[in-house]
Amino acid sequence: MAELAEIWSEALPNVKEGVTGVGVWTALNNAKPIALENGTLVLGLPHELGELSGHLKLPATKRLIENNMSELTLQQVTLRVIDGITQADWEVEKRRDAEKARLNEQSMAKMRAEMSARSNWEGIYEQLGRRFASVANKSLPQNRARFYEEAVSLVAEARREMQAYDELAERNFARCIERLAHYAEVPSTIVGLDVLRRAAEL
């Protein structure tokens, strides 16, 4: 920490030479180096001066700080400005980062599951169309019955493999039931009953 403070003190005059304005000078004068972790320079401002952080985040100022600190530390430095000037303040920010990353990953996982479910049901929906198109003599009830039996098994198997049972997945499942009901000329409730029984849900 002491060494980082010395490096910052050495870099500060060069940085100040490249900027103008009372706000940015005040921000630089009150900024405290808290940590240098994995190439990230953490500068903090006292809580009461938090509104000045925008001056340090300006592209020109940020670049000056990063360039000067990179030269002095012999590594590529990226600036991070936080509210607070203690190590504890930085630990709070890191916990927030971790929680944000966790929520993002949770959201992405849900999105991937939804996309996969949608893709699977869209595939089943298209398969039903192709299989019905290939049925010969569709006007004959026995041929529609054979198609119906095969299609119920197809939809039931997809239902058993479902991992998400949210509203979107249920709606896509319902679309397939409705399509099968239309093709087979069977009420959709009866189709749903047969599929759920075949999927061992009833």
The Cα–Cα gap between 128 and 181 comes to 11
- What does the pLDDT read at residue 90? 95
- What does the pLDDT read at residue 87? 93
pLDDT above 80 (res 81): yes
pLDDT above 60 (res 13): yes
Identify the band that residue 202 occupies on the pLDDT scale cut at 50, 70 and 90. Answer: low
Tens-digit pLDDT profile for residues 16-72: 999 988 999 999 999 999 999 999 999 999 999 989 999 999 999 999 999 999 999
- What does the pLDDT read at residue 165? 74
| CATH class name, domain 2-85 | alpha beta
Output the DSSP codes for the chain. -HHHHHHHHHHHHHHHHT---HHHHHHHHH-EEEEEETTEEEEEE-GGGGGGHHHHHSHHHHHHHHHHHHHHHTS--EEEEEE-SSHHHHHHHHHHHHHHHHHHHHHHHHHHHHHHHHHHHHHHHHHHHHHHHT-SSTTSHHHHHHHHHHHHHHHHHHHHT----SHHHHHHHHHHHHHHHHHHT--HHHHHHHHHHHTT--
- What does the pLDDT read at residue 169? 83
pLDDT above 70 (res 181): yes
- What does the pLDDT read at residue 115? 62
Tens-digit pLDDT profile for residues 115-171: 665 668 888 898 999 999 999 999 999 999 999 999 999 999 988 887 667 788 889
Pick from 164, 195, 171: which is nearest to 181 by CA?
195
